[in-house]
Structure 1
Amino acid sequence: MAAATRTDHKANPLKSFIAGGFGGICNVLTVYPLDTIKVRLQTMPLPAAGQSPRYNGIVDCTVKTFRTEGLRGFYRGISAPLVGVAPIYAVIFAVYAVGKRLFQTDEHIKLNYTQIFMAGVGTGICSALVAVPTDRIKVLLQTQSLTRPRKYNGIMDTAIKLYREGGIRSLYKGTCAGMLRDSPTGVYFVVYEALQDLARRRSPSGNITATSTIFAGGMAGITFWSIAVPFDLLKSRLQSAPEGTYKHGIRSVFRDLMATEGPKALFRGASPILIRAFPSTAAVFIGVEVANDLLYS
């Protein structure tokens, strides 16, 4: 993978938009089952006194999902992220390119890590605005009970019912939580670029490789999600709750969580998140670098 380095060309938002979209598709196809497990662990109800929890960790959730629903159970709601993730990552990389252009006066300006961080800061806010509606639909489809008549039947049915019940506000429920979750994106890009720079220095050709991209992308994902896990849990709780449960949004979710389950509950579902973080982000950057090879060749 002899991809261009960040000093070979000035950032192009349109090409970055296309490359980011392709990377997003690679992400969803790679790790969606772990996302389903993560959401189910985050949103399962507290057990009654003397009863066991619905799931005893990631392995138990995996086994029970497979036994009751088969392989299809791991992919419930996948149409929402497939439709939504491509534009989300397209926006992330396009906004990142716009941020980089603010510091690039010509083709040969090498950004330092502070500039890379600043270029990446705005991507989290912009991506949350695109991601929240599909996140909301995905969470509802992943968590609805199979033992009752289904309220939602697919992405379009869910979107229509949410709009009828609460308008645009219902579709965008959890926006503040989503912005908080996605705010460390600047760190995400710094880790990726730093590890790729290290790979370039060690490579005789001065180019990155597929192996370095997988490693750098995976470590960027783990770093990002290590910071974002608590906000992701609060978002999932808020988005899956019936209307009127949390009157003050994420603040109400946080207060309720601290009162009933304590601080450790903020990291429920962290295992599947961190397990999927490496392959999912590696898949994104592999897709982006492959697309860049074609777009800049």
Structure 2
Amino acid sequence: MSDMAPGPDSKAGDGKQTTTAAKSFISGGFGGVSAVLVGHPFDLTKVRLQTAPAGTYSGAMDVVRKTLARDGVKGLYRGMGPPLVGVTPIFALSFWAYDLGKKIVYSATPDRVSPKLSTGELAFAGFFSAVPTTLVAAPAERIKVVLQVQGQGGKAQYSGPISVVRGLYAEGGLRSIFRGTGATLARDGPGSAAYFVAYEQAKRALTPAGADPSQLNLGPVIIAGGLAGVAMWSFAIPPDVIKSRLQSAPQGMYSGFFDCARKTIVQDGVKALFKGFGPAMARAFPANAATFLGVEASLKAMDKLF
């Protein structure tokens, strides 16, 4: 996924590092599954901190302690079904769209001297990757959040993802299922720009002089992937808080993204926009290291097979 040197799937002779659509799609799916398996307990902790009434939890470890006491270890994986099912198309779309974004840059700059993309060009491709991805990610996030926040007190309303879909559709049709789409893009657009820029720049920095970044062993890939996740969540937490509150709130509580942001600040102060920062950052490195490990390992395997 580096843009530094031509790989086996690049256009012959042009030196532009772009991967075939099929390989981008498949490798992104492998990366996404890896991310969910590693990161879901951190994500559940983050969402519960972001959405619970003030005073429910004293911090991230209190969320973990109470969740384990109430539901056991399986409670930390509540709501994992939707992202695990949806993660293959979500991450596959993300990595496919990122590669497409790079191709758009190359098409728009036919007379460029170097195939090496600038930071701004990488940021464009990263932001672009979030646009089609949001169409799949938003409803999956909505279902996941609804499942994650239930069970904190009293009987769970929904038995699983299908039950949530039916309930949300009965509540407000497709509009209810897609609630939080704008907030998802507000989080994932800047976040994805930071994500891919950090990954590419970290790979460049970790590549020995005269070596090819595409040939890095898995150690530097893990480090670069982890740093990419940290960079992404450094930008994404405030819109993620709004997204979580929008998607978990009762029907009619908020009229939209800005109404939710305003009411959150009025009620809990600006600091509320950074709730869940700790677990998000704790999750960022291992989950995204796993993501890029899955992506790069699957790409290498596919390159050997075909």
TM-score (norm 2): 0.89
Q: Which residue of 2 aligns with 1:154?
A: 160
Contact 2:5–2:212 at 8 Å: present in 1 too? no
2:287 maps to 1:280: yes
**Residue in structure 2 matching 1:194, options 191, 201, 223:** 201
SS in 2 for 1:56: coil
Q: Which residue of 2 aligns with 1:62?
A: 64
Tell me the amino acid that sits aligned with residue 186 of structure 2: L
Counterparts of 1:124 and 1:4, CA distance in 2: 18
Counterparts of 1:167 and 1:272, CA distance in 2: 33
Gaps spanning 5+ residues in structure 2: where? 11-17
Contact 2:3–2:117 at 8 Å: present in 1 too? no
2:76 maps to 1:77: no
Residue 80 of structure 1: how far off its partner (Å): 0.7
Give per-residue Cα distances to partners, 1:9-39, cap 9 Å, x unaligned.
3222221011001100000001111111111
Residue 177 of structure 1: how far off its partner (Å): 0.6
Counterparts of 1:102 and 1:180, CA distance in 2: 22
Q: Which residue of 2 aligns with 1:294?
A: 301
2:175 maps to 1:169: yes
Q: Which residue of 2 aligns with 1:254?
A: 261
Q: Which residue of 2 aligns with 1:238?
A: 246
SS in 1 for 2:6: coil
Q: Which residue of 1 aligns with 2:15?
A: none
Contact 1:4–1:293 at 8 Å: present in 2 too? no
**Residue in structure 2 matching 1:88, options 78, 87, 90:** 90
Distance 1:275 1:146, change over 3 A: closer
Give per-residue Cα distances to partners, 1:58-78, cap 9 Å, x unaligned.
111111111111001101111
Which moves more between the two structures, 72-81 or 120-129?
A: 120-129
Residue 201 of structure 1: how far off its partner (Å): 2.5
**Residue in structure 2 matching 1:32, options 37, 40, 44:** 40
SS in 2 for 1:273: helix
Q: Which residue of 2 aligns with 1:220?
A: 228
Tell me the amino acid that sits aligned with residue 217 of structure 1: G
Counterparts of 1:212 and 1:147, CA distance in 2: 43
Aligned length: 287
State, as a whole percentage, how many aligned pairs show the same letter.
41
Counterparts of 1:95 and 1:178, CA distance in 2: 16
Contact 1:18–1:90 at 8 Å: present in 2 too? yes
Counterparts of 2:27 and 2:4, CA distance in 1: 14
Contact 1:13–1:93 at 8 Å: present in 2 too? no
Tell me the amino acid that sits aligned with residue 136 of structure 2: V
**Residue in structure 1 matching 2:146, options 131, 140, 146:** 140
SS in 2 for 1:244: coil
Backbone CA RMSD of aligned residues: 1.9
SS in 2 for 1:60: helix
Tell me the amino acid that sits aligned with residue 43 of structure 1: T
Q: Which residue of 2 aligns with 1:49?
A: none
Distance 1:37 1:153, change over 3 A: same
Counterparts of 2:201 and 2:278, CA distance in 1: 26
Q: Which residue of 2 aligns with 1:114?
A: 120
Which moves more between the two structures, 170-179 or 121-130?
A: 121-130
**Residue in structure 1 matching 2:129, options 116, 120, 123:** 123
Gaps spanning 5+ residues in structure 1: where? 47-52
Give per-residue Cα distances to partners, 1:174-206, cap 9 Å, x unaligned.
011101000111221111111111222358676
TM-score (norm 1): 0.91
Structure 1: 4+ residue segments shifted above 4 A? 3-6, 202-206
Which moves more between the two structures, 249-258 or 74-83?
A: 249-258
